[in-house]
């Protein structure tokens, strides 16, 4: 169906209906009655009435059209072809569709095929016209009804606002449904994975070695623990870097910095959050990794250039603005009266910060911290490039590690067969990651919400 | 004219200050705790206070009244240097607390604020327990050597603020859970806990209902026996009820100061008269 044409038709209908509702209600005003709603609401209501039935018809066709067309094609086929099943029938139908579009097909076309294609062409043209006419007709009918309803007392504003409310609810439902859908797909694929590998082996296994199917010899080991360990180690190192620096930046910006310095420094710090993570990745790979390795060399410690330490430090730098910006906001939300009260009792500025401001802001800071942790756990590009991709349980942060996110990337890049555990494991890993960040976010939200009540 | 001694409200130098303030000394002179001489305050380029000179006598309540924006709160905040915390504020002139220059570089502002307590317009208890609210000041100044001593300070401060009977059974509950009037008395108790000599109150009742206000006023009257109190208020009735001396500010100038009953019955300045009778403000 020609989408542009349909869209144009709908737009014309919309504009016309609005104009009609508007002018009709205006004429009531000049007729001397006092309108309940302003003319623009009457216009909007008429437009809604005209558009909704038309959209409903089009939506129905979009839902049922394919099935109806398929049924029609089958009805055109000779009985011996129509009685075929599965791939053969689908192939025949596809051939006829191809012929109908005029792109041509492989091999000679049989006369019955040409006939069916011709019939299909007519059928499509007919249904196209019928659907369009039906849409336009119901639209016009809706418009007519709407026009008849227009009186001075019609509560058009209330009705339009009701429709808008439904629309808003619908939009928020989309977000919820998307989440539900993602979880459902993760779950179903993960369950398929668990038919190959038992959950106990997955969650408590200490060896990660998924041999690719081409190598043969069984399906390999899928132990989550080395990956989880790597993830937690990198995230912990990142937080060790980011928390003190970010928090102290926030304290300086909110309590000590003159307004001029603050208004310059804060945006600059926030630029850090806008740098693409892949850039951080090669910054880690090219600069920080060799630098840390050199330091290790001088100190006599063996630090590899790509290691948990490298990835963690760079990730920590990336997270600084999260902590500093969120904490800065939270600290500034502590009422000035608290600060004055403490200063008025003879506390110094640092005593005031330590004993009054930070405790009051603590829940918010914890919330910021947890959000930053969930960000660190889900971070991918930095660890792909800088962590060394080595899925073994190692205590030494100077050694390479692998994380959950890196492993998902590895399992899903290149040739993938979505029926094998090698690929399906990515969904189980994704589910694990999702559960972790979800719990962190829920806890963070809960803490932040409790904090909000405190000063109301 | 008799020559008043150094410790009398109307010390002689007060009359030689450059300003047009009309002053009436008390019939019975009181020793002076705080002396302000030609105090000017600037917020950036804007001057908020012009050459304010006044003596604040001990064991008495001095009320600062005047229309909004007249500088009375600004002046109050000079006395314990709370203006230091405001960006771009600058103070000139001289303020003495028992003869010590408050703005002298050698004077520690922390020590000053322990000697000059402050109660704010809105009750601002810390989001801590009632006990911790009171113990906060003594703890930062190291006033209690033991837990028992701290308990004693907390109890006596709450008693002086006539809050003890209401909260003695729930000292560990958050101070923010008290009613507005109780919170303000908690803040007064918190200020008392560091044993200040002077207590500054910046419209302490403006956020409270009449019953809570009456309680605070009663409390102020009791505190007068041991402390030097300066109070900023918008309520003329309150000034008349609680204070012994009243100072009227207008547009950053100290217009008139004198015994409260004299200011309210026979003000010498027309502007004072107009404000008190409600002609402007």
Confidence of residue B8 (pLDDT cuts 50, 70, 90): very low
Q: Say if residue A59 is exposed, middle or buried (CB neighbours under 10 Å; 0-12, 13-18, 19+).
A: exposed
Which residue among A337, A346, A359 places its CB closest to the CB of B111? A346
Chain B within 8 Å of A244 (Cβ-Cβ)? no
Separation in Å, CA of A349 to nearest CA in chain B = 10
| pLDDT value at residue A452 | 60
Over chain B, what is the mean pLDDT?
Answer: 88
- Summarize pLDDT for A49-68 with one digit per residue, the tens: 888 888 888 888 888 888 88
The CATH code of the domain at A208-455 is: 1.10.3720.10
Show the 3-state SS of B10-74: CCHHHHHCCCCCEECCCCCCCCEEEEEEEEEEEECCEEEEEEEEEEEECCCEEEEECCCCCCHHH
Question: Looking at beta carbons, which residues of chain B come within 8 Å of A340?
Answer: 82, 85, 118, 120, 124
CB B137 within 8 A of CB B186: no
Q: What is the pLDDT of residues A4-60, one digit of tens each?
A: 888 888 898 889 899 988 888 888 888 777 888 888 888 999 999 888 888 888 888
* CA-based radius of gyration for chain B: 19
B118 vs A259, A344, A348: nearest CB: A344
Q: Which residues of A touch B110 (CB under 8 A)?
A: 346-348
Exposure string for B136-155, b = 16+ CB within 10 A, e = fewer = bbbbbbebbeeeeebeebbe
pLDDT surpassing 70 at residue B157: yes
Within a domain: B218: yes
Interface check B190 vs A, CB under 8 A: yes
CA distance A338 to chain B (A): 6
Residue of B nearest to A257 (CA): B87
Among A424, A423, A443, residue whose Cα is nearest residue A435? A443
Q: Is residue B111 part of a domain?
A: yes
C-alpha to C-alpha distance for A247 and A269, rounded to whole angstroms: 13
- The closest CB to that of B120, out of A259, A341, A355, belongs to A341
Please check whether residue B146 lies inside any domain of the structure: no
CB contact under 8 A, B190 and A356: no
- Measuring CA to CA, how many Å separate A374 from each of A419, A427, A432, B79? 30, 18, 12, 49
Check CB contact of A337 with chain B, cutoff 8 Å.
Answer: yes
Q: What count of other Cβ atoms lies within 10 Å of the Cβ of residue B109?
A: 17
What CATH number should be reported for the domain holding residue B40?
3.40.50.300
Substitution target from B124, B128, B157 for chain A, most A beta carbons within 10 A: B124
- Convert the pLDDT of each residue in B166-191 to its tens digit: 999 999 999 888 998 999 999 999 99
Confidence of residue B1 (pLDDT cuts 50, 70, 90): very low
Is the Cβ pair A344, B117 closer than 8 Å? Answer: yes
Describe the strand order of the beta sheet including B32-43 as a list of residue ranges. B46-57, B32-43, B89-97, B100-101
Assigned token pair, A217: 């010899």
Q: What is the ipTM of this complex?
A: 0.85
- Domain presence at residue B153: no
pLDDT tens sequence for chain A (456 residues): 577 888 888 898 889 899 988 888 888 888 777 888 888 888 999 999 888 888 888 888 888 888 888 888 888 777 777 777 777 788 878 888 888 777 767 777 778 778 888 888 888 888 888 888 888 889 889 888 888 888 888 888 899 999 999 999 999 999 999 999 999 999 999 999 888 888 888 888 888 888 765 555 556 788 899 999 999 999 999 999 999 999 999 999 998 998 899 999 989 988 888 899 999 998 999 999 999 999 999 998 888 888 999 999 999 999 999 899 989 988 998 888 889 999 999 899 899 999 989 888 888 888 889 889 988 998 889 999 988 888 888 888 888 999 999 999 888 887 777 778 888 888 999 999 999 988 988 888 888 777 665 554
Instruction: Inspect the interface and report whether the beta carbons of B124 and A355 lie closer than 8 Å.
Output: no
Q: Give the domain extent around B222.
A: 7-125+197-276
Whether B4 has a pLDDT exceeding 50, the answer reads: no
- CA distance to partner chain A, nearest, from residue B1 (Å): 41
Q: Is the dihedral of CA A68, A70, A75, A76 positive or negative?
A: positive
Q: Considering chain A, tell me which residue range(s) the CATH 1.10.3720.10 domain(s) occupy.
A: 208-455
Q: What integer pLDDT is reported at residue B16 of this predicted model?
A: 72
Q: Are strands B198-202 and B228-232 parallel, antiparallel or unpaired?
A: parallel
**Among B112, B124, B176, beta carbon nearest to A341:** B124
User: In angstroms, rounded to a whole number, what is the distance separating the alpha carbons of residues B177 and A412?
Assistant: 55
What is d(CA A73, CA A68) in angstroms, rounded to the nearest whole number? 9
Q: Which of B82, B128, B176 sits opposite A344 (nearest CB)?
A: B82
Residue B48 — φ and ψ, nearest 5°? -105, -25
Taking an 8 Å cut-off on Cβ atoms, the answer to whether B87 and A356 are in contact is: no
Nearest chain B CA: its distance from A438 CA (Å): 30
% of residues, chain A, pLDDT over 70: 96
How many domains does chain B divide into?
1
In terms of phi and psi (left: phi > 0; alpha: psi -120 to 50; beta: otherwise), the region of B38 is: left
DSSP 3-state assignment of A136?
Answer: helix
Are B31 and B213 in contact by the 8 Å Cβ rule? The answer is: no
Q: Indicate whether B130 belongs to any domain.
A: no
Q: Which residue has the tokens 């190692």?
A: A394
């Amino acid at each position: 169906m020609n989408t542009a044409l349909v869209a144009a038709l709908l737009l014309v209908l919309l504009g016309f209906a609005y104009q009609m509702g508007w002018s009709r209600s205006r004429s009531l005003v000049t007729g001397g009655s006092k309108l309940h709603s302003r003319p623009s609401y009457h216009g909007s209501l008429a437009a809604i009435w005209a558009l909704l039935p038309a959209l409903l018809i089009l939506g129905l066709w979009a839902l049922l059209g394919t099935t109806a067309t398929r049924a029609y094609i089958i009805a055109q086929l000779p009985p011996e072809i129509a009685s075929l099943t599965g791939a053969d029938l689908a192939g025949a139908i596809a051939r006829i569709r191809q012929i109908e579009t005029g792109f041509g097909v492989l091999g000679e076309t049989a006369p019955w095929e040409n006939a069916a294609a011709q019939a299909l062409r007519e059928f499509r043209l007919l249904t196209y016209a019928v659907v369009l006419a039906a849409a336009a007709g119901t639209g016009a009918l809706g418009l007519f009804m709407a026009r008849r309803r227009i009186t001075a007392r019609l509560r058009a504003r209330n009705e339009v606002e009701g429709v808008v409310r439904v629309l808003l609810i619908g939009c928020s439902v989309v977000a919820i449904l998307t989440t539900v859908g993602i979880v459902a797909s993760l779950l179903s694929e993960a369950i398929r994975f668990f038919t190959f590998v038992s959950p106990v082996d997955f969650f408590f296994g200490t060896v990660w070695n998924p041999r690719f199917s081409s190598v043969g010899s069984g399906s390999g080991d899928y132990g989550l623990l080395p990956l989880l360990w790597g993830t937690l180690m990198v995230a912990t190192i990142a937080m060790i870097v980011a928390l003190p620096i970010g928090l102290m930046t926030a304290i300086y910006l909110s309590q000590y910095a003159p307004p001029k310095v603050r208004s310059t420094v804060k945006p600059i710090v926030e630029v850090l959050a806008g740098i693409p993570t892949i850039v951080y990745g090669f910054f880690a790979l090219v600069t920080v990794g060799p630098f840390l390795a050199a330091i290790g060399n001088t100190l006599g410690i063996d630090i590899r250039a790509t290691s948990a330490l490298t990835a963690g430090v760079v990730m920590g730098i990336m997270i600084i603005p999260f902590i500093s910006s969120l904490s800065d906001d939270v600290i500034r939300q502590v009422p000035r009266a608290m600060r004055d009260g403490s200063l008025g009792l003879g506390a110094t500025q640092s005593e005031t910060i330590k004993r009054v401001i930070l405790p009051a802001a603590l829940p918010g800071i914890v919330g910021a911290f947890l959000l930053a942790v969930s960000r660190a756990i889900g971070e991918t590009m930095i660890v792909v490039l800088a962590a060394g991709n080595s899925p073994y349980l190692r205590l030494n942060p100077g050694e390479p590690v692998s994380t959950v996110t890196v492993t998902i990337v590895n399992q899903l890049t290149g040739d993938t067969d979505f029926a094998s555990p090698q690929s399906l494991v990515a969904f189980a890993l994704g589910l694990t990651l999702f559960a972790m960040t979800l719990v962190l976010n829920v806890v963070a939200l809960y803490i932040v919400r409790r904090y909000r009540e405190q000063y109301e | 004219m008799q020559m008043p001694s150094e410790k009398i409200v109307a010390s002689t130098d007060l009359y030689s200050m450059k300003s047009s303030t009309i002053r009436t000394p008390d019939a019975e002179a009181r020793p002076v705790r705080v002396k302000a001489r030609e105090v000017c305050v600037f917020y950036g380029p804007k001057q908020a206070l012009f050459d304010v000179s006044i003596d604040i006598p001990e064991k008495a309540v001095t009320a600062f009244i005047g229309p909004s924006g007249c500088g009375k709160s600004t002046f109050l905040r000079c006395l314990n240097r709370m203006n230091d915390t405001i960006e771009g504020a600058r103070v000139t002139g001289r303020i003495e607390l028992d003869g010590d220059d408050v703005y002298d570089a050698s004077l520690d502002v922390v020590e000053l604020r322990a000697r000059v307590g402050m109660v704010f317009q809105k009750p601002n208890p810390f989001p801590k327990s009632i006990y911790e609210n009171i113990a906060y000041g003594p703890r930062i100044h190291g006033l209690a050597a033991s837990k028992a001593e701290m308990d004693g300070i907390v109890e006596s401060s709450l008693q002086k603020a006539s809050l003890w009977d209401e909260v003695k059974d729930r000292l560990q509950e958050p101070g923010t859970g008290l009613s507005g009037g109780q919170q303000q008395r908690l803040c007064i108790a918190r200020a008392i806990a560091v044993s200040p000599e002077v207590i500054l109150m910046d419209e302490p009742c403006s956020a409270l209902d009449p019953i809570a206000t009456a309680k605070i006023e009663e409390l102020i009257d009791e505190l007068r026996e041991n402390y030097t109190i300066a109070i900023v208020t918008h309520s003329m009735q309150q000034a008349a009820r609680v204070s012994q001396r009243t100072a009227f500010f207008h547009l950053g100038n100290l217009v008139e100061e004198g015994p409260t009953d004299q200011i309210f019955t026979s003000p010498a300045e027309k502007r004072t008269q107009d404000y008190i009778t409600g002609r402007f403000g």
